[in-house]
């Protein structure tokens, strides 16, 4: 047994447990950074506001919006909008956040 009380076999488990404990804090910080970046992009006019995106989504795929995400990609910001159609299908739209162009519509 080592002086710190960990056997050689248990040291990797202790390291893994320590890294797992840090993961939620790291994820939360990354999410906070994304929110700040999105707010700044909106303020600078680099992305359209959600109200405009929802209007685009309704024209492309009428129904009830059930989920919206804003993600940053290499190509730029993208909205993902899930719509429950009157016929009961869930459709996912990818919309360019800067231009409002519908990039993709598919079944979810």
CA distance 62 to 73: 26
| 14 contact partners, CB below 8 Å, separation of at least 6 | 6
For residue 104, pLDDT over 80 is answered with yes
Measured CA to CA, the distance from residue 91 to residue 9 in angstroms comes to: 50
Report how far residue 64's alpha carbon sits from residue 42's, in angstroms, rounded to the nearest whole number. Answer: 24
More confident residue, 38 or 18: 38
Q: Where do the domains of the chain lie?
A: 1-46, 47-107
d(CA 26, CA 54): 31
Structure tokens at 87: 């016929």
pLDDT per residue as tens digits for the range 19-36: 445 445 433 444 567 789
User: Is the whole-model pTM more than 0.85?
Assistant: no
Span 47-107 CATH architecture: Roll (3.10)
pLDDT of residue 31: 56
Percent of the chain with pLDDT over 90: 61
Residue bearing the bigger pLDDT, 18 or 48: 48
């Amino acid at each position: 047994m080592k002086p710190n009380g960990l056997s050689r076999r248990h040291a990797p488990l202790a390291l893994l447990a320590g890294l797992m404990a840090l993961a939620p804090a790291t994820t939360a910080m990354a999410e906070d950074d994304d929110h700040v970046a999105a707010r700044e992009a909106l303020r600078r006019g680099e992305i359209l506001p959600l109200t405009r995106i929802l209007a685009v989504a309704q024209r492309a795929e009428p129904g009830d919006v059930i989920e919206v995400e804003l993600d940053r990609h290499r190509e730029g910001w993208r909205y993902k909008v899930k719509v429950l159609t009157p016929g009961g299908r869930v459709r996912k739209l990818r919309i360019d956040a800067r231009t409002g162009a519908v990039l993709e519509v598919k079944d979810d």
